């Protein structure tokens, strides 16, 4: 059974990028027809993220839409630029809040960001804590040296 719906996509790092088309018209809202957007999508699919960014930067900021920000977010994520990816993904969702693909990607980035922040908030030793740890380490070193004599 063929309903005219065609799906293309790719995945990396456990995340999938999917595009749905119906006939010659993409079904996601806010689609841009600029050939540079198609090129950027192709570069993302082939994991050439530097090329994606190079192509996207050629597009006038005044006409950048939700898909531009989404594709830029994917490219920056692929280059390990999480802060920029998160900012662009948020902009894409703000511009097109009903796009499930954009929302799913943003949710994934936010989850990773929250996880990172919770790990980085582990209590660090304060000045007194470092002093006590230093004294303990010195004490252990002295005991160890006594055992060698």
Q: 27-31, 39-43, 44-48: lowest mean pLDDT where?
A: 27-31
**Dihedral sign of CA atoms 53, 55, 58, 61 in order:** negative
Share of the chain above pLDDT 70, in %: 65
Residue 131 pLDDT more than 70? yes
Distance, CA of 58 to CA of 35 (rounded, Å): 11
Report the distance separating Cα 50 and Cα 43, nearest Å: 9
Confidence of residue 33 (pLDDT cuts 50, 70, 90): confident
Q: Tens digit of pLDDT for each residue in 74-98?
A: 999 999 999 999 999 999 999 999 9
Place 142 in a pLDDT band, splitting at 50, 70 and 90.
confident
Say what the pLDDT of residue 120 is.
56
Angstrom distances, CA of residue 118 to CA of 14, 15, 20, 85? 21, 22, 36, 19
């Amino acid at each position: 059974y063929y309903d005219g719906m065609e799906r293309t996509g790719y995945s990396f790092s456990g995340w999938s990028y999917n595009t749905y088309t119906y006939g010659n018209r993409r079904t996601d809202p806010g689609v841009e027809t600029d050939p540079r957007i198609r090129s950027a999508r192709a570069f993302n699919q082939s994991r050439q993220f530097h090329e994606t960014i190079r192509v996207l930067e050629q597009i006038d900021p005044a006409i950048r839409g939700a898909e531009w920000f989404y594709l830029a977010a994917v490219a920056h994520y692929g280059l390990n630029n999480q802060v920029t990816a998160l900012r662009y993904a948020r902009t894409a969702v703000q511009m097109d809040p009903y796009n499930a693909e954009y929302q799913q990607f943003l949710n994934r980035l936010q989850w990773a960001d929250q996880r990172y922040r919770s790990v980085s908030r582990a209590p660090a030793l304060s000045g007194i804590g470092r002093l006590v740890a230093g004294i303990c380490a010195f004490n252990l070193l002295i005991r160890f040296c006594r055992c060698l004599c």
